[in-house]
Amino acid sequence: MEGRDSGRAAEDGAGQDVGGTVADVGEFGLIREVTGRQQQPVGTVVGPGDDAAVVSAPDGRVVISTDMLVQGVHFRLDWSSPEQVGHKAAAVNLADIAAMGATPTSLVVGFGCPADTDAAVATGISDGLTAEAARVGAGVVGGDVVRSDQLVVSVTAIGDLGGRAPVTRSGARPGHIVAVCGKLGWAAAGLAVLGRGFRSPVGVVNAQRAPEPPYTAGLAAADAGATAMIDISDGLLADLSHLAEESGVGIDITSESLEVDRKLVDVAGALGADPMRWVLTGGEDHALVATFPSFVDLPQGWRQIGTVLMPDTGVTVDGKPYDGDIGWEHWR
């Protein structure tokens, strides 16, 4: 963010509470407050305070991804704390970097909000972003703040391939296996619980508020020989459809191989829902799904859930097309 150089942040990534609204604090006061709470990652050459950040790229290539979170679409402040919103904004972007088989190094953040927004909301979101980025050794190296009609957090993540080839969506081939690492269906279950006005069970609700992608699993998959990979943001079937289309293949998922946690079964029973639908079509857990040659020993935490087939078969479940929407799509 444009402003003065940042100082060292507290170990938990949070600073002192700031009072008033963002209008009371002012643009540059807010920038100073936010950047003063951050600790820069090792690869930062020039951090906040200049016209642009400079980060090192030991590999000679950089991996870049951007996601935008809009209040009322991706989060609600009556459901989530500002820190959880910041956590989620970081997680959805860091997962994209992991899905390329890269290591996240830094984030650039664009933040917009109305003038009467509590300054503590802005700094709380910043704290959540900083803390989640720190989990993978990354940090916020720059960005911008603006006035807007609603709260918006736009994050650009940067990563390093470490000499590896990127794992794209286009490398799956017939005969490869499909495997997943991470939770499936939890965030969708959490959304259903919150939508009914409940705030528990906390583990399910927090999967929606602050997802926990398996960041290191992307690197492990790349090292093991993954041929294609994607993070599950819109739903397992929806994102596998993107991968299948880019690779020119079909994919069949075996429902018996999908783990449906007992807690999801209990929540679904209470809400009159189908937990398998959450697992197959619910997004926002940001688990990773990848394809591997059949002879590969899957890395720890990965489990086989399907097979890559010949082209023109689409994505099927137990050999049949799925009945219903396969995941999230904006403007639908």
What six digits make up the tokens of 38? 């951050």
What does the alpha-carbon distance between residue 3 and residue 197 come to, in Å, rounded to a whole number?
41
Confirm whether residue 67 is marked as ligand binding.
yes
For 95, the 3-state DSSP assignment is: helix
318 is in an annotated binding site: no
Angle between the N-to-C axes of helices 215-224 and 82-99, in degrees from 0 to 180, rounded to the nearest 10: 10
CA distances from 259 to 235, 299, 304 (A): 15, 18, 11
- Our separate counts of H helices and E strands in the chain read 10, 13
117 is annotated as contributing to ligand binding: no
Reading the block at residue 168, the tokens are 């794209």
Q: Does residue 96 have a known ligand-binding role?
A: yes
Checking DSSP bridges between strand 63-70 and strand 320-321, what pairing results, if any? Answer: unpaired
Residue 261, annotated as binding a ligand: no
143 is in an annotated binding site: yes
Confirm or deny that 274 is annotated as ligand binding: no
Alpha-carbon gap, residue 67 to 82, rounded angstroms: 17
The answer to whether 74 is a known ligand-binding residue is yes
61 is annotated as contributing to ligand binding: no
**Binding-site residues for ATP:** 143-144, 169, 233
**Binding-site residues:** 51, 65-67, 74, 96, 143-144, 169, 231, 233-234, 284, 328
**Binding-site residues for substrate:** 74, 284, 328
**Binding-site residues for Mg(2+):** 51, 65-67, 96, 144, 231, 234
